[in-house]
Each structure stands twice: as C-alpha cells, then as structure tokens.
Amino acid sequence: MAQALMPNDTVLISYNEIRDEIQKLSDSRMEKLLNYFETQWMISIDTWNVSRTDTRTNSTCEGG
C-alpha cells in the first residue's frame, strides 16, 4: 500500500476511508484482508512508515 509513504498522522484516517469503501462491497475475502491488515500492520505504523526517511526502500539500487 502507498500508505507507507504518507505522513504518519494521515495513515489511519486514509485507511479508515479505504476500509469504509471496501466494506460496501460485502466481500468476506476483503473483510479477512482488512482484519489481517489491521491486526498486523495498523498497530505499529511507526515501524513501517517511511514518510520521514531519506531512503524509502530496502534496495539502494532503487531511486537512490
């Protein structure tokens, strides 16, 4: 998700907007994905968000 590049204080707001739109689809597979994402990733945004770092990838060959 592109949320890794967004400022920390906007990640949760934008995720909630995405989640609200996805929930309108009533797809159980998407619900499972949302639940996984919320329990695994949305609890520690600071550990994966790269908006404040100079290097935004783990490969120094990409975009320097």
Q: Tell whether 12 is covered by a domain.
A: yes
Q: Tell whether 1 is covered by a domain.
A: no
Q: Tell whether 11 is covered by a domain.
A: yes
Q: How many domains does the chain have?
A: 1
Tell me what pLDDT residue 62 has.
Answer: 65
Q: Tell whether 28 is covered by a domain.
A: yes
Averaged pLDDT, 3-10 = 80
Q: Tell whether 64 is covered by a domain.
A: no
For the stretch 18-56, pLDDT in tens is 899 988 988 889 989 999 988 988 888 888 777 777 765
| Full residue range of the structural domain in which residue 28 is found | 7-46
- Residue 36: exposure state from Cβ atoms within 10 A (0-12, 13-18, ≥19): exposed
Cα 2 to Cα 10, 27, 28: the distances in Å are 12, 22, 23
Q: Tell whether 20 is covered by a domain.
A: yes
Q: What pTM value is reported for the model? A: 0.67
Tell me what pLDDT residue 20 has.
Answer: 93
Query: What distance in Å separates the CA atoms of residue 7 and residue 1, rounded to the nearest whole number?
Result: 13
